[in-house]
Amino acid sequence: MTTFNQLTPQQVAYIAGFLDGDGCVNAQLVTREDYILGFQIRVTVTFYQKTKRHWFLVWLQKKLNCGKIRKRPDGMSELTLVGVQTVQPFLQKIVQYLLVKRKQASLVLYICHNLSKKQSPEDFVRLCEKVDLIETLNDSKKRSIKAKDVKKHLGVDN
């Protein structure tokens, strides 16, 4: 598990401000044939920067000691933190400093806290509905799988 205790309070506040301005806190539904319920809730935190400032994302990755960086073909670079084991402790550390993305972070933390491998279909669908709420807060346009699709797949009426 990654810890972010080496960051100073000033660094934490700075990183939160950077995330508020040039980042995204997200959750998405992904089909997974190897999962009992057939779906995974994937949580991510992504930082964006023009590729000419790629060095900054490298610096941030070293500070956080986690994440993957990629250069996109559109002149942008991104640093992405993926998964509950990384995203949850990161958001716990910075949520108090977020302004713009605090609701998304709080919802992702709720999802992380309540996600379980032995989850009932009904409880999983309720978490999927939180994923849908994050979509509205992020003005997402590309999501293809929604809670209603999971409900239908699992035959859940709630």
Cα(76)–Cα(96) distance, rounded to whole angstroms?
28
22, 123, 132, 149: which is the annotated catalytic residue? 22
Asked if 118 and 152 count as a contact pair (C-beta separation under 8 A), the reply is no
Burial 77-89 (b: 16+ CB within 10 A, else e): bbbbbeebebbbb
Backbone angles phi, psi at 73, to 5 degrees: -70, -10
DSSP annotation string for 23-58: EEEEEEEEE-TTSTTSEEEEEEEEEEEEGGGHHHHH
Note if 149 is an active site residue. Answer: no
Q: Is 22 a catalytic residue?
A: yes
Around Cβ 95, how many Cβ atoms within 10 Å? 17
Q: Which residues form the catalytic set?
A: 21-22
